Structure 1
Amino acid sequence: MVVSDGTDVQDRYGEDPIDEAAAGWVARLSSSDATESDRAAFEAWLAADPAHAEAYAEMDAVWRRLGHLPVSRTRRMPKGPACLAAAAVLGAVLATQFGLADWLRADLWSGVGAIEHAILADGSRIDLNTGTALVLHFSDTERRVELLRGEALFDVAPDPARPFVVDAAGVSARAVGTVFFVRADGAAKPVGVAEGRVDVTASGRHLRVAAGEAIRRQDGGAPTVVKDDVNRAVAWRDGHLIFSGERLSDVLAELERYRRGRIVLLDARLGDRRVTGSFDPRNTDDALDAIAATFALRVTRLTPLVVLIGPS
């Protein structure tokens, strides 16, 4: 599977089922819980078509070059945008592979780029942001939600006899009747409150968060309570992504949550530029074009999965 730096890159690294299957096998066989049954199935897949072996060798080589597996052989790698395309396809597929267990466990979920809404039996409302999965554990004494991935906004129906608790990525948020969001993706602000109060436990600390406040996590530091425009932070519920002076690198990372694949900023120095604007999460291509026009940047779409942002 030879990839050039020419115009055939988009065709070769679109949503090719052989590439996606090959990336899935790289993910599975590199896992510590890969079984002999997995290896036998892989060998059968490999023997079914010569293109399978070629695709697997390409994805395996990219993953080794990225440092996720030890390099056991020397192999010529594709250069430039083609290598970025291969790496992005592999990364996107691996994310799906490793997240499969979450989707299978979930009681409620939303796809990438989708925003879903649900009313629970107790009258509480949950808005699920892009790529979110959660499990409900309701009993006579407690309403507990396990946020497996993504972000959700909770509008909790009051029930003093059954507190509402959300657990996500080392953070536990407890409320009786309130409106708050929780993120499970390692965000700097994993919890924010729009109405009422929430008791949060994070990194061994117990914090009371009121309306208009959020929890901020910093590398190496203890979580703290800070003032925050929570209504702006959850504007995605109404189909808006609102930024006010955020770094371009952070804005691109946020837009990436709403699309399949990767947005690659070619010059890290551009990431410090500040972005202010409102964008539609259902059309991130328009958002990227608007940002590029504002800062005189070039948007290069290699495939549906890979977008490069660089100087004009």
Structure 2
Amino acid sequence: MTRADADSAEQTQEQARQWLLRLRAGNASEADAEAFRQWCADHPQAAHRLRDTWSMLRVAAEELAQEEQSVAGIGTAQAKRRNTLRTSRRAFIGFAAAAGASWLALRPPLQLWPSVTDMAADYRTGTGEQRQVALSARVSVELNTQTSVDVLPAKVAARGVELLAGEAEIDAQAPSLRRVGLVEPVTVVAGRGRMHAQVARFNVRRTGNETCVTCISGTVAFEHPRRRLALQAGEQVTYDDRNVQPLSRVDPAAVVAWRRGVLVFDGVPLSEVVDEINRYRRGRLVLRNAALGRNRMQAQFPITKLDDVIDMLGRLYGAHVTRLPGDIVLLS
């Protein structure tokens, strides 16, 4: 290696360190994200090493999660082993982050990749992925895209999960006639809210610090330091750590349209439409025109056709669509 090559490699290393500091600060802007993507394109070898680091961390965490799930819920000894694995898995991820992947993992800019918190969850889904988790013979949890949940310890609830981020539909079916007297409620924790239901279907969505709970059928008991109430079918409550909004009536079919592979927007600002698209589509759709974002939409989109939807938005509003590497699209 010549002196010039060595200097160039050292400069690239320094740039990587600067990106580490900028992204880890937690206040990266859309322009930062675009610049980071361009830096990766200009330095493919360095970017490849970063992706390898993140990939190894993800694979190792998922392997540990699979090992943990394979021994879950069968007897005291197995339960102890499950808790040990959970602790080990989180310790591993924390160590890996501290050792060199933390700037990628802890606060990913614009949610361009999963955070360490997401990866440490008992169950999670990637962008555009959905999966079902069975808590018992009659209780199941359907995870929507970009969702992370932890199974609640037995001392907290016999059956239940904590929704860390994303969206889930909980289905607690009626027991068989032979077991009608043995109905254990399912518990869902999200932020400072707690939901209990014996026989019900309900949807819980957590975005940042805000959580929205919609009762699809049955009755859901809701608890929060600020308020307690019972949700009936078609009722919805939204809350954060400090406040609980008034109860409202909604169309449950529209709330759970994602189960049918459809996104439904009823007079929603385009800025919120863009946010929703970003939950299901890899990369990032960036809205660069505030006035454009105030337009309201009445539409239904298939989740599998979101790139076509982006082009349609450009034509509908006369917006300019710019496609960048890494599936980043600018709408201006």
User: For the structure 1 residues 187 and 245, does the alpha-carbon distance in structure 2 shift closer, same or farther, using more than 3 Å as the test?
Assistant: farther
Counterpart of 2:121? 105
Q: Could you tell me whether the CA contact under 8 Å between 1:114 and 1:129 is conserved in 2?
A: yes
Q: Report how far residue 122 of structure 1 moved.
A: 2.4
Structure 2 residue identity aligned to 1:134 = V
Higher relative contact order (CA 8 A, sep 6+): 1
Question: Aligned partners of 2:242 and 2:189: how far apart in 1?
Answer: 22
Q: Could you tell me whether the CA contact under 8 Å between 1:92 and 1:262 is conserved in 2?
A: no
Q: Report how far residue 54 of structure 1 moved.
A: 4.0
Question: Aligned partners of 1:139 and 1:161: how far apart in 2?
Answer: 16
1:275 has 2:297 as partner: yes
User: For the structure 1 residues 277 and 63, does the alpha-carbon distance in structure 2 shift closer, same or farther, using more than 3 Å as the test?
Assistant: same
2:236 to 211, 214, 229: 214
Q: Could you tell me whether the CA contact under 8 Å between 2:188 and 2:194 is conserved in 1?
A: yes
1:85 to 34, 54, 57: 34
Counterpart of 2:68? none
Q: Could you tell me whether the CA contact under 8 Å between 1:115 and 1:127 is conserved in 2?
A: yes
Deviations 1:243-284 (A, max 9, x none): 111110111111111123332211111111011111122332
1:158 has 2:174 as partner: yes
Q: Could you tell me whether the CA contact under 8 Å between 2:23 and 2:109 is conserved in 1?
A: no
1:53 to 2, 6, 13: 13
Map 1:162-173 onto structure 2 (within 5 A): 162-173=184-195
Deviations 1:85-116 (A, max 9, x none): 1357976468577732432331x321111122
Map 1:27-176 onto structure 2 (within 5 A): 50=10, 52-60=12-20, 62-63=22-23, 67=27, 83-86=32-35, 92=108, 95=111, 99-106=115-122, 108-137=123-152, 139=154, 142-158=158-174, 161-176=183-198
Aligned residues: 252
2:272 to 230, 244, 250: 250
Q: Report how far residue 307 of structure 1 moved.
A: 1.6
Question: Aligned partners of 2:223 and 2:150: how far apart in 1?
Answer: 19
Structure 1: unaligned runs, 5 residues or longer: 1-46, 69-79
1:197 has 2:219 as partner: yes
Counterpart of 1:74? none
Q: Could you tell me whether the CA contact under 8 Å between 2:314 and 2:321 is conserved in 1?
A: yes
Structure 1 residue identity aligned to 2:35 = A
User: For the structure 1 residues 136 and 60, does the alpha-carbon distance in structure 2 shift closer, same or farther, using more than 3 Å as the test?
Assistant: closer
Fraction of identical pairs, as percent: 30
Classify the secondary structure of the residue corresponding to 1:196: strand
Could you list the structure 1 runs, at least 4 aligned residues long, displaced by more than 6 angstroms after superposition.
88-91
1:266 has 2:288 as partner: yes
Q: Could you tell me whether the CA contact under 8 Å between 2:271 and 2:294 is conserved in 1?
A: yes
Q: Could you tell me whether the CA contact under 8 Å between 1:114 and 1:282 is conserved in 2?
A: no
Counterpart of 2:45? none
User: For the structure 1 residues 203 and 306, does the alpha-carbon distance in structure 2 shift closer, same or farther, using more than 3 Å as the test?
Assistant: farther
Tell me the TM-score normalised to structure 2 length: 0.65
Deviations 1:198-222 (A, max 9, x none): 1112352112111111103489753
Tell me the TM-score normalised to structure 1 length: 0.69
Classify the secondary structure of the residue corresponding to 1:111: coil
Counterpart of 2:316? 294
Which structure carries more helix by proportion?
2
Structure 2 residue identity aligned to 1:173 = M
User: For the structure 1 residues 206 and 291, does the alpha-carbon distance in structure 2 shift closer, same or farther, using more than 3 Å as the test?
Assistant: same
Q: Report how far residue 62 of structure 1 moved.
A: 4.6
Comparing 265-274 with 196-205, greater Cα deviation is found at 196-205
Structure 2 residue identity aligned to 1:152 = A
Question: Aligned partners of 2:26 and 2:36: how far apart in 1?
Answer: 8
Structure 2 residue identity aligned to 1:176 = Q
Deviations 1:172-216 (A, max 9, x none): 111111000111224766100110111112352112111111103
Comparing 200-209 with 132-141, greater Cα deviation is found at 132-141
Counterpart of 1:8? none
Structure 2: unaligned runs, 5 residues or longer: 1-6, 41-103, 176-181
Q: Could you tell me whether the CA contact under 8 Å between 1:264 and 1:308 is conserved in 2?
A: yes
Question: Aligned partners of 1:247 and 1:192: how far apart in 2?
Answer: 21
